[in-house]
A = this chain, B = another copy of it.
Amino acid sequence: MSTVDRELRVGLVGYAFMGAAHSQAWRTVNRVYDLPARARMALICGRDTGKVADAADRLGWDAYTTDWRDLVTRDDIDVVDVCTPGDSHAEIALAALAAGKHVLCEKPLANTVEEARAMTAAAAKAQAAGVRSMCGFNYRRVPAVTMMRDLIASGRLGVVRHVRAVYLQDWIVDPQFPLVWRLQKDRAGSGALGDIGAHIIDLTQFVTGQRITGVSAVTETFVKERPLPAESSGLAASANGADGAAPATGTVTVDDAAVFVARLDGGALATYEASRFATGRKNALRVEINGSLGSVVFDLERLNELEFYDATRPGAEQGFSRILVTEGDHPYMSAWWPPGHIIGYEHSFTHQMRDFVEAVATGTDPAPSFADALQVQLVLDAVTRSADLGSSWTEVEPALVTAPA
């Protein structure tokens, strides 16, 4: 690493769950990968002075600020990493792009299609000036997911016929769980749909190389009224009224669960389900893809494994092979430990930072682009519209982004 002169000075906005995960990745990326630039954890931003100061110290950032407008415009920042709730993504990212900063923005790209369109247009314009942008669908960088993509892209599954994707959690099954920001439409955009449904939309489109063209959807809010929160952290939170008084309550304005059927442009038939009410399922992003020549299965709770069924093998020996995706020749894995020594959730972010740093340093465009993320947003929008229209079949709008002249 001693020969790397170039430094990318990163400014991170947000220090909660995603902020901590990104920090761990920024801290690690140059320690395990040889890259053409070195990320510097320069500046972190949050609204509460005490908390952001503490976060800077704990997470290892050189400095902190409470003003994101300062962060996105400072000369000594090269990259802006947006880890705030979805309602502020557009404003921050647009300002950062306008200031010529490379932008990594957490998913979902925005809370509305309009914002996502504006961001995509801005990114396209900035790209012409050499500014890079990327949306943080980190699960693309789980080695088993990348391997799934590679298998399908190389034809090993033949024609893809079925996509079966669920993302199941259970953290709000308890009706006394409070009304945190993720359950408020104005902050989060949507509920399970945008938070975790967006992941399986992106992931399945990524690995199949196909795009969703239409959907038929149903959404549901099982618990419609919840106590207002006292405080929260990550996905954990406690309700107010703890000292005996009945807590004040508020209305849940997002979906608890969203299910939809979809068609992909390569002819596949797909089912999707995102829920926060799947008791016992903690982070169960599960995907199965069936093609004419084989199938693959992935489960995020066992993210080091990929099941692969190769229907071209001798019949009596066919079976789902549990591949431990921890070999040096598996995607991203040469940097880590010997075979069988597994990695964790956070590594997907380190891999994401590797690809982002490499793209920025070499002047190429990282993926997924804002345009890719807009397309996910358009799928989310179609899902919402279909659910509002009695599940009737609803086409996904084209992204129609015109590159700047």
Contact = CB atoms under 8 A, between A and B. Distances in A.
Contacts of A342: 283, 301-303, 342, 344-345
Contact of A337 (B166, B260, B343, B345): B345
A275 B392 CA distance: 22
A114 interface: no
A318 interface: yes
A284 interface: yes
A261 B263 contact: no
Given A24-B31, A392-B390, A340 B273 contact: no
Contact of A234 (B308, B322, B338): B338
A171 B393 CA distance: 29
A328 B326 CA distance: 27
Contact of A347 (B303, B326, B344): B344
Interface string A292-306: 111100001111101
Contact of A315 (B31, B173, B290, B329): B329
A31 B20 CA distance: 9
A235 to B, nearest CB: 4
A169 interface: yes
Counting contact residues on chain A (CB < 8 A from B), the size range is 35 or more
Contacts of A28: 24, 27-28
A17 B338 contact: yes
Contacts of A1: 54, 57-58
Say what secondary structure dominates the interface of chain A.
mixed
Contact of A317 (B261, B271, B323): B323
A2 B281 contact: no
Contacts of A74: none
Interface stretch (A78-86, A216-224, A396-404): A216-224
Contacts of A30: 58
B58 A282 contact: no
A319 interface: yes
Contacts of A302: 302, 342
Interface string A330-358: 10000001111111111100000000000
B322 A317 contact: no
Contacts of A309: 279-280
Interface string A133-163: 0000000000000010000000000000110
A236 interface: yes
A21 B336 CA distance: 9
A31 B27 contact: yes
A359 interface: no
A317 B321 contact: yes
Given A161-B222, A323-B319, A391-B261, A346 B337 contact: yes
Nearest to A270: B259
A31 B295 CA distance: 37
A216 B278 contact: no
B279 A295 contact: yes
The 6 closest A-B pairs by CB, nearest first: A282-B340, A283-B340, A280-B309, A216-B391, A319-B321, A344-B344
Given A147-B316, A343-B345, 14 more contacts: A17-B337, A27-B27, A161-B257, A217-B261, A279-B291, A279-B295, A279-B309, A280-B294, A307-B319, A316-B327, A321-B321, A341-B346, A342-B342, A391-B393
8 contacts: A162-B257, A164-B273, A216-B218, A279-B293, A280-B290, A318-B323, A344-B344, A390-B393
